[in-house]
Amino acid sequence: MMYAYVIYNLEHHRFHYGVCSDLERTERAHNEGKMDETKDIAPWTLVYHEECPNRQQAIRRVRFLRSQSGQFFLKRILHF
C-alpha cells in the first residue's frame, strides 16, 4: 500500500506533496530535517492523505493534487 500525502507548514504557509509507504515515518523525517525538499522549514503537519494500490497510482494522485483542480479540491475539504 502506498500513500499520496500533503503536509503543511503554518508559519510559512507552504504545502508539500509526496508519496510514501509509511506516513508516520515520513512525517517524522520531514520534521527532523531528513528530507532535502523540506529540511529548512519545520514543523510540518500531515493535513491530507489517500491510500493508493501502488506507487504509480499515488504519483498520479499527487500530480492531481498539485493541479489547479486539485488545489480547489484541497482548499474545499481542508477549509483553507
In this predicted model, what pLDDT tens digit does every residue of 8-27 receive, in sequence order? 999 999 999 999 999 999 99
Range of the domain at 39: 2-78
When the pLDDT of each residue in the chain is averaged and rounded to a whole number, the result is: 96
**Which pLDDT does position 44 carry in this prediction?**
97
CA-to-CA distance for 20 and 6, rounded, in angstroms?
A: 11
Number of domains in the chain: 1
Task: Specify whether the backbone of 41 is left (phi greater than 0), alpha (psi in -120 to 50) or beta.
Answer: beta
Please answer whether residues 46 and 31 qualify as being in contact, where contact means their C-beta atoms are separated by less than 8 angstroms. no
Q: Is the pTM of this model over 0.95?
A: no
d(CA 23, CA 72): 23
What CATH number is given to the structural domain containing 19? 3.40.1440
Average pLDDT over residues 24-49: 96
